[in-house]
A and B are shown apart, each in its own frame.
Chain A
Amino acid sequence: MNKNQLALRVQEIIAGVEGVAGLYPARSAVLAGIASTLGANETVVAVDTADTGLVIRARIAALTGAPAPRLVRDVAAAVRAELGGLAGDARAGSVGLAGSVGSAGSAGSAESVESVTSVGPVSSVEITVCGFTDVRFS
């Protein structure tokens, strides 16, 4: 699983949380400019790797009926729970993750570090509510 696939997976997880109406691009025009010069790919959810683990950033629209302070906590909890599960799978070698994990599944193939990202621990989740709406849109 590379970063893009991981970002898409996180997008699904977030969109599935009760009270989330949709997602906006996490890298605003401002950050996108910077990201593009760094050669990062554009995904709705931003996934970055820090020394301490994965940094997940997302901007969401909330349903008007969902209290924002609780919603953001729910979203982060869902991301942590699901990705924690993925990391467990990775160690078992069943998700096709390789690289630093050194699972049995990676033996024999010479993956480049660039294309393969191990799902490390989630070090931080940054969620911003950018709008409220009455209907889901994504």
Chain B
Amino acid sequence: MTVPDRPRLNLDDAADSFLVERASDGDVSSFESLARRYGPLMRGYARRLTGSTADADDAVQETLLQAWNQLGKLQDGSAVKPWLMRICGRKSIDLIRKRKNTVNLDDVEPFDHGPGPERAVEQDTQMRSLVEALKRLPLEQRQCWVLKEMGGQSYEDIAKTMDTTTDSVRGRLSRARTTLMKEMEDWR
């Protein structure tokens, strides 16, 4: 990357905790560096959760807006990544709730760029099987599973995100896991 302005380049190399400290003091460019650093991760995750690119972009935008307003509450700046992912998971689930009955969530639509949709995924048979198996899971089981395995959320976080109890999350994850394991035996 050959961008002329050096400060920005330096910021992009800076540690999360440094950027969080500056951003929570109102520094917009530090915040934008964080957004660039974790934007793609959040967008991919939100798309897997919502099944739609437009929803994913809305979820990322709402996540960043909330993050900007609440950055000061983040005690440990180096934990900004899981913190953003928690907010992003919550925003994605909220969007799905708002849109209930209006979209078909069975298919994750491809991003409109690149040589082929789902390139990396298509190439790997096992990964493709996993994607198919995920689609067949009941919605709530799938959401719990994605929140945990792809978002790295704890049972307690997932329960909060989905407005339910940790026991219920445990149950859904257990059923999802059993199903996926069974299917995986068939992929071999």
How distant is the Cα of A38 from the Cα of B52 in the complex, in angstroms?
13
A37 touches B54 (CB 8 A): yes
Q: Which residues of A contact B61 (CB under 8 A)?
A: 30, 33-34
Write out, one digit per residue, whether chain A residues 16-47 have a CB within 8 A of any chain B CB (1) or not (0): 00000000000000100110011000000000
Write out, one digit per residue, whether chain A residues 115-126 have a CB within 8 A of any chain B CB (1) or not (0): 000000000000
Q: Which residues of A contact B188 (CB under 8 A)?
A: none
Q: Which residues of B contact A34 (CB under 8 A)?
A: 58, 61-62
Interface: B6 (CB within 8 A): no
B65 touches A38 (CB 8 A): no
Interface: B99 (CB within 8 A): yes
Nearest neighbor of A34 in chain B, beta-carbon distance: B58
How distant is the Cα of A83 from the Cα of B68 in the complex, in angstroms?
33
Mark out the residues of chain B between 40 and 98 whose CB falls within 8 Å of any chain A CB in the assembled complex.
54, 58, 61-62, 65, 98
Q: Which residues of A contact B62 (CB under 8 A)?
A: 30, 34
Q: Which residues of A contact B99 (CB under 8 A)?
A: 38
Write out, one digit per residue, whether chain B residues 131-150 have a CB within 8 A of any chain A CB (1) or not (0): 00000000000000000000
Query: Which residues of B are in contact with A by a Cβ distance under 8 Å?
Result: 54, 58, 61-62, 65, 98-99
Query: Which residues of A are in contact with B by a Cβ distance under 8 Å?
Result: 30, 33-34, 37-38
What are 12 A-to-B residue pairs whose CB atoms are below 8 Å? A30-B61, A30-B62, A30-B65, A33-B58, A33-B61, A34-B58, A34-B61, A34-B62, A37-B54, A37-B58, A38-B98, A38-B99
9 extra A-B contacts, CB within 8 A, seeds A30-B61, A30-B65, A38-B99: A30-B62, A33-B58, A33-B61, A34-B58, A34-B61, A34-B62, A37-B54, A37-B58, A38-B98
